[in-house]
Amino acid sequence: MSQTGPNMSQQKSDASVGTSDMKLEVIVIPVSDVDRSKEFYGKLGWRLDADHGSGNDYRILQFTPPGSGCSIIFGKNVTPAAPGSAQGLYLIVSDIESARGELLRRGIEISEVFHGAGDVHAGPDEPFLFGRQRVNGRDPEHGSYRSFASFHDPDGNGWLFQEVTTRVPGRIDPAVTNFASTSDLAGALRRAAAAHGEHEKRIGGADANWPDWYAEYMVAEQGGAKLPT
């Protein structure tokens, strides 16, 4: 049977075409009171990028969280979605206790840190990535992706902090290591320092090559590779 029909030719053509970059840069948040929402997201410490209007029928605002490549937009006549209907909006942080503490200092109500209940996913709690059962406290094994805290804007749009310290392999370019903020870099240095302390205990003395060890650890951690010992 011939394998050179139109469908096969189309598959070959598609495979030979490169994939275009598609960067998620904006999420639209439905709100009922634009000025109230502007005050709330400004109170979070997010950067105000735009506040434009046209008469009484149209207004658009854009905010960007610190270190984020994606922004939010809200306003008047920018989305038909019901105010408060945006749920499960995740903000990735490297130190969830620090991030939660910052919101509390800013006067923002936020849940206690919680984690999932293992293989139990059904329950009465507000849903998150691991189901509807929340267990108080950080993940006992301090697993990356496993610890959360949640908060809402005045309309009830739902946000969650998710602590990520080590990426799953393949999620980022292993040839590129970068940190979105000084706090992210500081957190990575603290984790490297703690791990290096254990390394020096194992070798029974001071490690003169600690800068190389730190660098290897931080690159491996961010890329999801095997950590040095």
- Domains, the chain, in order of start with CATH, read 24-82 (3.10.180.10), 87-165 (3.10.180.10), 182-223 (no CATH)
* pLDDT (tens digit per residue) in 8-51: 555 555 555 667 888 899 999 999 999 999 999 999 999 999 99
Q: Give percent above pLDDT 70 in the chain.
A: 88
Q: Give the span between the Cα atoms of 209 and 80, in whole angstroms.
A: 58
Q: Looking at the predicted structure, is the pLDDT value of residue 215 above 90?
A: no
Contacts of 27 (CB under 8 A, 6+ apart): 70, 71, 72, 73, 86, 89
Q: Looking at the predicted structure, is the pLDDT value of residue 82 above 60?
A: yes
Q: Give the span between the Cα atoms of 73 and 63, in whole angstroms.
A: 7
DSSP for 128-194 reads BTTBS--EESS-TT--TT--EEEEE-TT--EEEEEE-SSPPTTSS-TT----SSHHHHHHHHHHHHH
pLDDT (0 to 100) of residue 32: 98
pLDDT average, residue stretch 196-218? 86
Distances (CA, A) of 48 to 52, 62, 132, 148, 155: 11, 6, 34, 26, 19
pLDDT average, residue stretch 185-213? 86
Cα distance from N-terminal residue to C-terminal residue, the chain: 56
* pLDDT (tens digit per residue) in 91-123: 999 899 999 999 999 999 999 999 999 999 999
76-80, 81-85, 144-148, 180-184 — which is least confidently predicted?
180-184
